Amino acid sequence: MATATEKLSNLKPAVAGLNQISENEKNGFINLVTRYLSGEAQHVEWSKIQTPTDEVVVPYDSLAPTPDASSEIKNLLDKLVVLKLNGGLGTTMGCTGPKSVIEVRDGLTFLDLIVIQIENLNSKYGSSVPLLLMNSFNTHDDTQKIIEKYQNSNIEIHTFNQSQYPRLVVDDFLPLPSKGHTGKDGWYPPGHGDVFPSLMNSGKLDALLSQGKEYVFVANSDNLGAIVDLKILNHLIQNKNEYCMEVTPKTLADVKGGTLISYEGRVQLLEIAQVPDEHVSEFKSIEKFKIFNTNNLWVNLKAIKRLVEADALKMEIIPNPKEVDGIKVLQLETAAGAAIRFFDRAIGINVPRSRFLPVKATSDLLLVQSDLYTLEDGYVIRNKARANPENPSIELGPEFKKVSNFLSRFKSIPSIVELDSLKVAGDVWFGAGVILKGKVSIVAKPGAKLEIPDGAVIANKEINDPEDL
């Protein structure tokens, strides 16, 4: 086995020869690999973990109300930039192109809704909140074409690319592109922790600071709940918090999400990968770790500049092994949430669950396209008629995995306001105006087609063949 020093001395000239990427990217990559090889893994001493107090993870209800005067609100908004992480493709949902162009509801895409929301804010208060999209090399070209349709809207849209790093061949620790893999599969975007150096390297950070902007609200483009919240922004400005992570109470569906802890006097993110094996079940319990990271983050722009310039953002490295054409490769990534411990006066805010509504699969699409939600001014609002604060759990079989298949199997999306859980598997087709209540399981027998007729009302039932209807 080559030593770390040998690996690095072979890697450096190989990376220097990659002319597809900038000097900043080459340096950033070598820094990341150097940190990885030095083995500075963050092992957390379990006995030192403390549950954060309300000073550190502030309850949302305790925030001061938003100022009434619209001039004060405009003043707040003029300090804000909204940044959506737009590097992901819609491949897991069977779509080509950026995930943010999947239609969510009423023919509108994630990106349409985001633009409508910010336009409404700007029109209502006379503010000028810009939208930034951080693309990856996978989504950049498509996104540039897509945003042309917004050129007449009341919103400034800026795009920039996150870094492009070479995948590392596990066997000899050399970059995959220098071995003839010059296509996209030789490269990877190094996770959203890269948002901070990329903002700086793109020149966007300095441009925003020169316009008097103070805070950036960062969120995943597929989280429909991540809307601008004036109470949060006001709180951060009043209390000079450089960083805020929105957290929300865990349910059993969120056991793998990262949580905030107090550790050696600072607030930090604890991810499942950092947890020693013997404590994993404790980490997953809802008793000890009651909250998880929504990845809605509010960060002070001057603080980002200070820390990036000092090369102080040394977030935990997440090694992500992959295989390309039978070659084992490694991609090293970082997460933006892990940066919390480097910022001064960093806090979490324990927000309502409504601020976390991600669409990761067609089962989530079913929720947001149903009568459980309505659309108002670009905002997806939950139906008051549903008594249960938790959403129904929905499990759809592989026949529904791709958006196109999902849409073709529903004549219209069923009513699910009174649904507790739904399991669908096999060759199932839904008619129009179907109503589902309680616990419903619809599983077609292998080779059999199961059609749910128009207007069917199914309550607390298991259905396996047409007779069960």
User: Quick one: average pLDDT of 45-74?
Assistant: 93
Strand order in the sheet with 435-443: 393-396, 419-425, 435-443, 457-463
160 φ, ψ (degrees, to nearest 5):
-150, 160
Residues 235-250: tens digit of each pLDDT: 999 999 999 999 999 9
Instruction: Please tell me the predicted confidence (pLDDT) of residue 277.
Output: 87
pLDDT at 41 over 70: no
* Residue percentage of the chain with pLDDT more than 90: 83
User: Quick one: average pLDDT of 421-450?
Assistant: 96
pLDDT at 1 over 80: no
Instruction: Please tell me the predicted confidence (pLDDT) of residue 256.
Output: 80
Q: What is the pTM of this model?
A: 0.95
260 token code pair: 């905030």
Residues 257-306: tens digit of each pLDDT: 899 999 988 999 998 888 888 998 888 888 888 999 999 999 999 999 99
User: Quick one: average pLDDT of 135-154?
Assistant: 94
pLDDT at 2 over 90: no
Residues 169-201: tens digit of each pLDDT: 999 899 999 887 778 899 999 999 999 999 999
Instruction: Please tell me the predicted confidence (pLDDT) of residue 28.
Output: 94
168 token code pair: 């590392």
Instruction: Please tell me the predicted confidence (pLDDT) of residue 45.
Output: 87
Confidence grade of residue 253 (pLDDT, cut at 50, 70, 90): confident
> Looking at per-residue confidence, does 5 or 160 come out higher?
160
HSE-CB for 41 with a 13 A CA cutoff: 13
Instruction: Please tell me the predicted confidence (pLDDT) of residue 468.
Output: 81
Rounded to whole angstroms, the maximal C-alpha distance in the chain is 70
Residues 401-424: tens digit of each pLDDT: 999 999 999 999 999 999 999 999
Instruction: Please tell me the predicted confidence (pLDDT) of residue 42.
Output: 65
Instruction: Please tell me the predicted confidence (pLDDT) of residue 60.
Output: 98
Residues 9-29: tens digit of each pLDDT: 999 999 999 999 999 999 999
Cβ neighbors of 180 (< 8 A, separation 6 or more) are none
Residues shown for the chain: 469
**What one-character-per-residue DSSP string does 42-89 give?**
----GGGEE---TTTEEEGGGSPPPPSSHHHHHHHHTTEEEEEE---B
